[in-house]
Every structure is written in C-alpha cells, then in structure tokens.
Amino acid sequence: MDHDGERWAEAQRILDGLPSQALEARIRHRVRLSILLGTGLVLLAAGAAFALLAWLGDEPATADDDPRWRTIAGLVLTAGAFVLVIVGGVTQWRANRRLGGLRTPLMVLDRRQQKLLLDELRGVVPLDQAHVGLVRHLAERQTGQRALLLLQLGLLLMFVAQFIGSPSAWRLAMVLVFGAGFGVLALMVLRNERQARRFLAEQPG
C-alpha cells in the first residue's frame, strides 16, 4: 500500500476509535515541539522586554507623563483583557477536548491530504465518499473556533491598555498590527464556520 493510502487508512482507524501508534508518536512530537517553541518565545519576549526597558529607562519622568485617569483606564482594560484571554482559552480547550484534542485523525495526515479535506469541505473539489467521515470531523472542529476570537481580542485589548496608560509610537504600532490581525482572524474563523455548518447540514451524520 502506498504511503498516502496508509495515512488515509490510519486516519479512518483513529476516527473509528481504534488505537494508533502513529498518532501517539505524532502527539509526542507535537508536545515536544510546543514546549521548545513556547520556551523560545518566552525567552525572546523577556529579552525584548528587558532591552526595551533599558532603552526607555534613561528618559526622565515628569508629573504629566502618566495622568491618573490613564493609569486607571489602563488597569481596568488590562483586567478585562485577562478575563477575555482566560475565558477564551478555557472555552477553546473544552471545545478541542470534546473533539479529542490532539487525538484527532487529522494528525496522521500530511498537509496535502489535510488541504484536500478542506477543499472537499469548501466544495472546491468533489467530495470523495471515502472521506465523508474525516471531512465531517474537520467541519465539527471548525465550528468550535470562535473562542480564538476572544483570545485575540484579549491580546489586542492588552496593547490598547498599554497605549492608554503610556502612549508611544511603538505601542500604537502594536495596537494597529494586532487590530489588523484580529480583523483577518475574525473573517477567517467566521468564513470557516459558515462553510463547515453548510457541509454538516448537507451531510448529516
């Protein structure tokens, strides 16, 4: 059997609830990669923060630099942003856990096969009846992605809070960048959800 056929068969086995050594290996690899990436990002962010503080630390402060209303507004907005991030994170975690989390048959497929399933979901290519279960699984996962918008909105509000508390050009730039990112993510999530719900309505389980 060719490698593509083996991966399709393995994905179907996982979808049917059967154990898979290939999936366990992929999960271990993904976890290790996530830990390394997360550690690297934390170290990079910490280094950038220390460098920025060192660069800005030489600027003399004045009584008018941080009016009290800016400080209060920034703190309130930051608290709200943390709430959004926590709620979004917990909601997304529950949605992913309900659908198996990392134990998804999509993990054993390569990018080309995953793209084929996505194209079948969107109607770009004809639906292969052998893929109906896998495409339904993909569609169900895409209907539970709205919590990502809460996470992104929380991050955006954190930068807005920093800008309000202490306005600067770089903080404004971060607000604009994250604002644009939020807009793009919202369009993608809502489009994917609409297409997924259409597919689920046309292919009821």
Task: Give the confidence band of 102 by pLDDT, cuts at 50, 70, 90.
Answer: confident
Q: Where are the domains of the chain?
A: 67-202
Among residues of the chain, what percentage have pLDDT more than 70? 86
Across 61-77, average pLDDT: 72
**Where is average pLDDT lowest: 11-25, 142-156, 164-178, 184-198?**
11-25
Q: How many CB atoms lie within 10 A of CB 100?
A: 17
pTM over 0.85: no
